[in-house]
Structure 1
């Protein structure tokens, strides 16, 4: 597999955790990791490289030209950095012999082999991704100008058909759209990808990108009506966990019911093995996971996380 991720100096720890989770669960074959950045401190770059090579992976590093990103809108209040836009450059940065890649955000942990996802057919599609299942901004379809029947996908996990991106010249189209419609963008590059590829996205099972919002009461209530069995299966045994909103597992106030998964893989890295939760924090995390599962099965609203609207 060819795995792509974007990071800056502040997110190297989380990038390392994500990569360890990937390699721990995908030990068959030799995988390549392509890291995009505007420039990492040498010691931080080596931390990522050492993890990849320790699993016999191939490591590739791509410097993003910051001048290409001057027009990318980022507000001081945004919880994302300019690195979120790097994925728009994948088709131009990576060698042309690479036909498909799996893009993963760094606030993710992988908990299963990804062969099934990797082998998904992308004939006629630009990418495969997971629909946000109604957790996107309420004005998104009117704002981006397409029919709600196509849904809105999250860009944290993308299986990308690079051949399609290159044949259609999508990199240029992405930045042209951004220059003309920057006032419409609330979710940054994710909005751009949806605005241009809404009908060229293959929606795959939510298990491949279980977002933080999926554990909120308003989402569970909608999902339960649609497919209760799928909801329980995906939420109880997420294949890919995406800590897509704050507070993140490494932040003190996080009550995500599966926050321990982050530390499970972080502690497998030699350099971050000392970053552990206290006994009391671990106990609370186990309680949150058990209690939330019970409430979901019973259809009762009660957990602090589950109460979020």
Structure 2
């Protein structure tokens, strides 16, 4: 598989955790990791390269020209950095012979094989992604000017048809849209991708991108009406677990029921093996996981598993 991720120097630990989780659950094949960044230090590049090669993977680093992102809206109060826009430049940076890639955010752990997802047909589609289950901003369809029947996908996990992106000059299209719709963009490149590719997205199972918001009761109660069996299976056994909102698992206030997954895989990264939870934090995390699984399996209704 060809995996693409984008980071700055602040996210090296989390990138390593994500990559270890991917390699641990996708053994037996040769994988290539394509890292997009602006001025990642040589030391940090070495840390990631050595990790990838320890799993017999191939590591490639691509330097992003920050001048190409000057028109992209980002605020000092945003929890994201300008690195979120790097994925819009994929086809201008990656080798021409690549036909598809799997883009993964670095606030993710992979807890199972991705082969089924990787083998998803993209014929006629620009990408495959997971719908956000109505957790996007309420004004998103009006603001981005398209019919809500198409849904709104999360851009943290994308199976990308690079051939489609190249043949339709999407990089140019993306940045033209940013220039002409600057004031409408709230969720950064995710808004751009949805505005332009909502009808060219193949929606796949939520198990391929189980967002933090999916564990909140206001989502669970609506999901349960549609397919309670699937909902329980996905939430209890996520293949890709996406810590998509704050607090992140490495932050003390995190109460995500699967916070421990992050530290399980992080412990396998030699460079960061010393980053551990205290006994009290670990005990709390175990209790949160047990309690969540219990109330979900018992079908207790009206309970807020935890709050944003």
TM range (shorter): over 0.9
- Shift in Å, 1:42: 1.1
CA contact (8 A) 1:3 1:33 kept: yes
What's the TM-score once normalised by structure 1's chain length?
Answer: 0.98
Matched, 1:126 2:101: no
- Shift in Å, 1:300: 3.1
Matched, 1:308 2:302: no
Matched, 1:22 2:22: yes
What's the TM-score once normalised by structure 2's chain length?
Answer: 0.98
The equivalent of 1:67 in structure 2 is: 67
The equivalent of 1:190 in structure 2 is: 190
- Shift in Å, 1:286: 1.2
The equivalent of 1:152 in structure 2 is: 152
The equivalent of 1:93 in structure 2 is: 93
Matched, 1:225 2:225: yes
Query: What SS does the aligned partner of 2:271 have?
Result: coil
The equivalent of 2:209 in structure 1 is: 209
Give a deviation string over 1:242-301, Cα, whole Å, max 9, x none: 000000000000000001000011010111111111222111111111111222232234
- The alpha-carbon distance between structure 1 residues 257 and 307, as it changes in their structure 2 partners (threshold 3 A), is closer
RMSD: 0.9
Q: State how far apart, in whole Å, the 2-side matches of 1:173 and 1:239 are.
A: 32
Q: State how far apart, in whole Å, the 2-side matches of 1:308 and 1:220 are.
A: 13
Q: State how far apart, in whole Å, the 1-side matches of 2:215 and 2:166 are.
A: 37
- Shift in Å, 1:80: 0.0
Give a deviation string over 1:141-172, Cα, whole Å, max 9, x none: 00000000000000000000000000000000
The equivalent of 1:251 in structure 2 is: 251
The equivalent of 2:240 in structure 1 is: 240
Query: What SS does the aligned partner of 2:199 have?
Result: coil
The equivalent of 1:54 in structure 2 is: 54
- Which stretch of the first structure deviates more once superposed, 106-115 or 289-298? 289-298
The equivalent of 1:5 in structure 2 is: 5
CA contact (8 A) 1:295 1:301 kept: no
Query: What SS does the aligned partner of 1:229 have?
Result: helix
Matched, 1:299 2:306: no
Query: What SS does the aligned partner of 1:241 have?
Result: strand
The equivalent of 2:287 in structure 1 is: 287
Q: State how far apart, in whole Å, the 2-side matches of 1:95 and 1:229 are.
A: 42
- Shift in Å, 1:302: 3.9
Query: What SS does the aligned partner of 1:129 have?
Result: strand
CA contact (8 A) 2:217 2:303 kept: no
- Shift in Å, 1:47: 0.7
Query: What SS does the aligned partner of 1:199 have?
Result: helix
- Shift in Å, 1:307: 4.1
The alignment of Structure 1 onto Structure 2 pairs a total of residues equal to 307
Unpaired runs of at least 5, structure 2: none
Give a deviation string over 1:2-24, Cα, whole Å, max 9, x none: 00000000000000000000000
Q: State how far apart, in whole Å, the 1-side matches of 2:23 and 2:306 are.
A: 34
The equivalent of 1:103 in structure 2 is: 103
